[in-house]
Amino acid sequence: MIELTCIAGSANGRQPDSESGNLGSSPSPAAKLGANVIYVCSFVMKSYFKIFDFISEQKLRDSLILDYKEVLTCLKRKAYKAAVVLSGGIVEAILINRALYLPNDKKNKIEKIYLELTGKKEQIEKMELSPLIRTLSSLGVITSPQAGRSDVLRDYRNLIHPYKKGGRPTKSDAQNVKKLLDDLIKEFQVGILEINDESNVRLFLAHSAYKEKREKPEYGEILKLFYAMNGRVDFEDFIKLSIFKNKPNPSKSLISNLTYLKSQGLCNFDTNSWQGYPIRRYESWVMDETIKKLVGEYLKNIKI
């Protein structure tokens, strides 16, 4: 992008008339600044004209460029709600485009999984964003961290419905959303599926969009045990937690919660702990030392 701030003037310091363009009698801003120039311009180079080159459809690519420019304008004008809603729309368009240009066998799988998740048979371009994100993630079209970022942006996009979402995004929220959007665009640009667990964990533990999810009691108990056990916990130790022990299907519930925390970069299974018989599962789960420190700070702050 080129942001152009021009101060109009002339060699004799008179300002062009706003309607005719002829030189008037009043001193131009350039003359007031002591500049004997016709135009004084400041350039801020931000190359957004090519950032959507990975989008195969020209019409959509042009539309996304305009939307991205509008996001920047909204941030500059402090229209934070508009900025985050537009950002969510950009992500939705990118993901749908990505799905539409997959091989036919992959597209058939997307429709099948979407049907299983929602009970609805839909064409890809008409799919709801939340189950589409889950579907693309399950097929490896996008990474789990990318799915997490997309889900945050989707959540913000829903701010357009005032009865579905309370509150308005702050400047900090809008800046975080812009950063998430840029990260996703960059990854899709170069075709590299980078995973930055630390940044995803910071997002999950601190961002307002994740507040409801991270305050789920099961997640809190799991994180506490990870921290208490110095980052390595056996499956059976998790099962002993009362919050799982009293559930109808403790193992299924635990696996579901661990899998979600794994998708946010908080933990992972120990690949050497796979047990194929009598129960197929990983027996040990681990948390990286850096992540454990972040979790410790989080637990301390919320006084769990």
CATH number for position 93? 1.20.120
Q: How confident is residue 224, by pLDDT bands cut at 50, 70 and 90? A: very high
Q: Which of 37, 34, 33 is nearest to 9 (CA)?
A: 37
Report how many domains make up the chain. 3
- For residue 255, pLDDT over 90 is answered with yes
Q: 130 by DSSP, 3-state: which?
A: helix
256 within some domain = yes
Average the pLDDT over 202-213 and give the result. Answer: 77
Q: What is the largest CA-CA distance in the chain?
A: 92
**Helices within 58-128 (DSSP H only):** 58-76, 80-100, 104-118
pLDDT score recorded for residue 101: 85
205 within some domain = no
- Which regions of the chain does DSSP assign to beta strands (E)? 2-8, 14-16, 23-27, 39-45, 232-234, 268-269, 274-275, 281-282, 284-286
Please give the Cα distance from 116 to 257 (Å, whole number). Answer: 20
Q: Are residues 32 and 100 in the same domain?
A: no
Average the pLDDT over 42-70 and give the result. Answer: 74
Q: Are residues 32 and 107 in the same domain?
A: no
Which neighbouring-strand residues pair with 232? 286
Ranking 1-5, 77-81, 201-205, 254-258 by mean pLDDT, the lowest is: 1-5
53 within some domain = no
Q: 114 by DSSP, 3-state: which?
A: helix
- For residue 7, pLDDT over 50 is answered with no
144 within some domain = yes
50 within some domain = no
Q: Are residues 230 and 103 in the same domain?
A: no
Domain encompassing residue 222: 212-302
CATH value at residue 251: 1.10.10.10
Q: Are residues 104 and 32 in the same domain?
A: no
Q: Are residues 178 and 66 in the same domain?
A: yes
